[in-house]
Amino acid sequence: MTRKILTGLSSQTYEHPFDRKALASLQNMPGVSLLLKKINEYGIDRLLRLQCLGSEIRITPRNFPQLHQTFVETCQILDVTPLPELYLFRGTGHINTYIVGVEKPIVGINLDAMEWLGTEELLYILGHEVARIKSQHMVYHQMAIMMPTLKNLLSSTTLGVGGLVASGMELALYNWRMMAKFTTDRAGLLACQDIEVATTALMKLAGLPEEYLTPAVIEDFVTQAREFASHNLDTVDRVTKILSYTESGLSWVVMRTGELLKWVDSGEYENIVQQKNLNTLEQKQGNTPEETEGWNFLTSW
């Protein structure tokens, strides 16, 4: 399959409205700017980078040529430059990836992902990660990763930040992290450019081995995802939002697949791949929160 290189791609053309609303709520929380300042003072960015450099295997064209080339293609398709570093870490019994580093991003992928995913599925998974660079949201993403540690550090200070975190900042941060997955899933699809590949990648992410991915299993999963996406999320959002930040291990692949299918059905995905009506899409994505139907922990609780 020949995939299109999306030169000049803007993240605004594919960002999910739930992502934008949740980020706006987070940015308006008291104490966020102070927390960002403390992250810089503690050298969190440097710490995370050192952990990767000292513990994981850097992927090069020489040691893992196929994986490296897939990563290069992902970044080329999504127009992400310069090329981040890619590292391989030990298997955990399930597919796992991450991205850290505001100044010099590092993408990590575990052995399970490399072994269980096909090349096209790797495009989806890697695209999901590098999308955070594209949206320039790395600082908030990194804040979410370090939040448990930061909360303990800040609660011992006299700055009052611990109280601010307890009163809502942490919930806003974790709510945004969940909503941001809808955007990064879209980027993953733009990278692999095949909704069936994105679907099987998400199913494997949920832990389903390759041998169980029969046509009937995939079709029933898609039906389930469409049924979930047809529900009025306002009737279940309290439970979902609570679980989204208290149960970080949940993959929510059915919900995420349903949102991805809705995006494909809308025609917006095809317009971006064919590079049609991009100005209109960017303007549409720039709607104010009041103009876009959404789902937000802080405003609808």
pTM of the model: 0.86
pLDDT of residue 285: 61
Can you give the residue ranges of every domain in the chain? 11-300
CA angle, residues 95, 98, 102, in degrees to nearest 5 = 175
pLDDT of 300 above 50: no
Q: Summarize the confidence of residues 2-27 as an average pLDDT.
A: 93
Specify the length of the chain in residues. 301
Q: Which of 235, 231, 240, 177 is nearest to 16 (CA)?
A: 177
pLDDT of residue 233: 57
pLDDT above 90 covers what percent of the chain? 56
Question: 82 — phi, psi (to 5°)?
Answer: -70, 170
pLDDT tens, position by position, 28-70 = 887 777 777 777 767 888 888 899 999 999 999 999 999 999 9
